[in-house]
Chains A and B, each alone.
Chain A
Amino acid sequence: MNEWLYVALFIVVGLIIPIGAIAAGFIFGPKKPNPIKETTYECGIETVGDTWVQFKAQYYIFALVFLVFDVEAVFLFPWAVKIGQLGLYAVVEGIIFITILIVGLMYAWRKGMLEWA
């Protein structure tokens, strides 16, 4: 059997168990909803204005920096697996690759992009 089928089994069972628990709560719990009970929780006063606001633009800078490093991991994992067989040449090449990334991170930092404003 394909090993990813086992992963699929884990996902299926992992979904069944919490759904079962929540369904048990749904069956045994009282159900008497009313509009006052469903008001949004907030301290002391009723909520004012729209909740679903836009994300801060700052998040996109962090997300971009993160994306660069996340994609880099895709290149680094095969390098790390085969590093024992490749010798010093591949190690130096990998180090140059990581150094370029760090220089990019330092550039973003010096530009003040990594500070929460």
Chain B
Amino acid sequence: MNFWNDPLKIAADWMEGIFVGWGMDAVLAHVLVAFLGVFLLIAILMVVDIFLVWVERKVVARFQDRLGPNRLGPFGLIQPFADIIKLIIKEDTTPGGADKVVYNLAPILSMMSVLILWAVVPIAPVMLGVDLNVGVLFLIAAGAIGTLSIIMAGWSSNNKFALIGGFRQVAVMVAFEVPMLTMLLVPTIFASSMNMNDIIQGQGNLWYFALSPLGALIFLVAAIAELGRAPFDLAEGESELVSGFNIEYSGMKFGMFYAGELLHAMTFGGIWAILFFGGYRFFGLEQVSPFLAIPIFLFKALIGYWIIMWVRYTMMRIRIDQMLVFNWVFLTPLSFVLLMVTALMNALLKDASLWIYGLGMFLSNVVVGWIALEIARSVSRKQRESVEGPKNLAEAPH
């Protein structure tokens, strides 16, 4: 073992040695080093978060045929730092009649729920906060805290727009948690483990995206809803609720919601990459050194983040009743059917070779997705005809 293979372990042992040398208790030194490691990871994440503000603004500008921030520094890179200074020196007002404890706790929990997700996200083969054997369930539990913070913000602001935003977030969270849970079961079946590292190791020969493209797609849709981004940004709804749940927040408290949302989106890009695109794996390059594995993982995470941004800035917001019908009547049954088909194919093709297994999985996914789309298409055609009457094909313009 050398520095090139496992830098964190060596650095941690070195620091522990120093602390013990100062006459510190061995257990205490271990805890202190772990604390410093966690602090380092989260500090790096916050720096990444600052640049995500720039990335998001630049990408949305390009999607909308604008230039985006381009005045401060090269390509406007200093812009987010100016934003932070502005947020810090801004007056922090609390609306009269607000529930002060809950009001102040909500932005803190919003940021915390995102940061603790990184406890189970493997960045490189040896760089992982905690190797939890229930890592996948931990993702769901931590995600629920983020939703809770939005409900708390909406409820405690003593503002009707904020309250409606909070109410809507309840409906969205309750709806899209079910397909998300179900699609987390698919990589669990393939890897026979809920551990994030095992899921990555299981994708040595074939990414799970190749085995279950439909599962990856459903997970992405559910993740976008969980993030509260367009087309599911009902809790914000700029055009009808002004800013929704965070309407009464200003200064750094608003900044925490904003930064938390951006980091959450990037984190879900990373989780998507881990579950379906092999995480830090790339043709054995990750075995060479963690210094190679981290850029690979970051690249995949940013691609996922970019797709989430792409969806956000090109789709319109859907109504809440449409969202509920889409989820409960279409997405939830579809995800359960996909789960059953995956389990059945997994049992039938267990002893087959990798290529037959992969091909069987892929084809069953395509068939399930195609049938679901056909059913949705025929139902929506019937609805349309019941409203505007059957289409006369002979009179249709060619």
Which residues of A are at the interface with B, using a C-beta cutoff of 8 A? Answer: 1, 3-7, 9-15, 17-19, 21-22, 24-26, 28-33, 35, 37-43, 47, 51-53, 55-56, 59, 62-63, 65-66, 69-70, 73, 76-77, 80-85, 87-88, 91, 94-95, 98-99, 101-102, 105-106, 109, 114-116
The answer to whether A55 touches B167 (Cβ under 8 A) is yes
The answer to whether A6 touches B321 (Cβ under 8 A) is no
With A14-B112, A29-B92, A41-B95 given, is the CB distance from A83 to B158 under 8 Å? no
User: Please, which residue of chain A has its CB at the minimum distance from the CB of B130?
Assistant: A6
The answer, among A15, A35, A77, A106, for a CB contact under 8 Å with B188, is A77
Q: 30 A-B residue contacts at CB 8 Å?
A: A1-B34, A5-B34, A7-B129, A7-B130, A13-B35, A18-B110, A21-B255, A22-B92, A22-B252, A28-B88, A29-B88, A29-B89, A39-B95, A40-B97, A41-B242, A41-B248, A62-B171, A62-B175, A63-B174, A69-B178, A76-B185, A77-B136, A77-B188, A77-B194, A80-B185, A83-B343, A83-B346, A87-B347, A91-B346, A98-B339
With A18-B111, A39-B95 given, is the CB distance from A9 to B160 under 8 Å? no
With A43-B242, A114-B325 given, is the CB distance from A38 to B181 under 8 Å? no
User: Please, which residue of chain A has its CB at the minimum distance from the CB of B343?
Assistant: A91
A80 → chain B, closest Cβ, in Å? 4
**B336 near A: Cβ within 8 Å?**
yes
The answer to whether A10 touches B118 (Cβ under 8 A) is yes
Number of A-B contacts (CB under 8 A): 222
Q: How far is the CA of A43 from the CA of B340 in the complex (A)?
A: 50
**B17 near A: Cβ within 8 Å?**
no
B167 → chain A, closest Cβ, in Å? 7
B122 → chain A, closest Cβ, in Å? 14
Contacts of A11 in B (CB 8 A): 112, 116
**B311 near A: Cβ within 8 Å?**
no
The answer to whether A80 touches B189 (Cβ under 8 A) is yes
Q: How far is the CA of A1 from the CA of B35 in the complex (A)?
A: 12
Q: Which of B75-90 contact A (CB under 8 A)?
A: 87-90
User: Please, which residue of chain A has its CB at the minimum distance from the CB of B166?
Assistant: A55
**B132 near A: Cβ within 8 Å?**
yes
Contacts of A47 in B (CB 8 A): 159-160
A97 → chain B, closest Cβ, in Å? 10
Which residues of B are at the interface with A, using a C-beta cutoff of 8 A? Answer: 30-31, 34-35, 38-39, 42-43, 46, 87-97, 104, 107-108, 110-112, 115-116, 118-119, 129-132, 136-138, 155, 158-161, 163, 167, 170-171, 174-175, 177-178, 181-182, 185, 188-189, 192-194, 242, 247-248, 251-253, 255-256, 320-321, 324-325, 328-329, 332-333, 336-337, 339-340, 343-344, 346-348, 350
The answer to whether A42 touches B90 (Cβ under 8 A) is no
The answer to whether A39 touches B119 (Cβ under 8 A) is no
Contacts of B108 in A (CB 8 A): 15, 18-19, 22
Q: How far is the CA of A30 from the CA of B190 in the complex (A)?
A: 56
The answer to whether A62 touches B174 (Cβ under 8 A) is yes
User: Please, which residue of chain B has its CB at the minimum distance from the CB of A65?
Assistant: B328
The answer to whether B188 touches A24 (Cβ under 8 A) is no
B47 → chain A, closest Cβ, in Å? 11
B112 → chain A, closest Cβ, in Å? 4
The answer to whether B170 touches A59 (Cβ under 8 A) is yes
The answer to whether A24 touches B159 (Cβ under 8 A) is no
Q: How far is the CA of A1 from the CA of B28 in the complex (A)?
A: 11
Q: How far is the CA of A80 from the CA of B336 in the complex (A)?
A: 13
The answer, among B158, B188, B328, for a CB contact under 8 Å with A105, is B328
User: Please, which residue of chain B has its CB at the minimum distance from the CB of A37?
Assistant: B93
The answer to whether A42 touches B39 (Cβ under 8 A) is no
Q: How far is the CA of A1 from the CA of B131 in the complex (A)?
A: 12
With A39-B95, A70-B178 given, is the CB distance from A13 to B189 under 8 Å? no
The answer to whether B171 touches A17 (Cβ under 8 A) is no
Which of A4, A11, A37, A109 neighbours the largest number of chain B CB atoms within 10 Å of its CB?
Answer: A11
The answer to whether A41 touches B253 (Cβ under 8 A) is no
The answer to whether B350 touches A51 (Cβ under 8 A) is no
Contacts of A29 in B (CB 8 A): 88-92, 251
Question: Can you list the 3 inter-chain pairs with the closest CB atoms, starting with the nearest?
Answer: A25-B252, A116-B321, A14-B115
A83 → chain B, closest Cβ, in Å? 6
The answer to whether A95 touches B340 (Cβ under 8 A) is yes
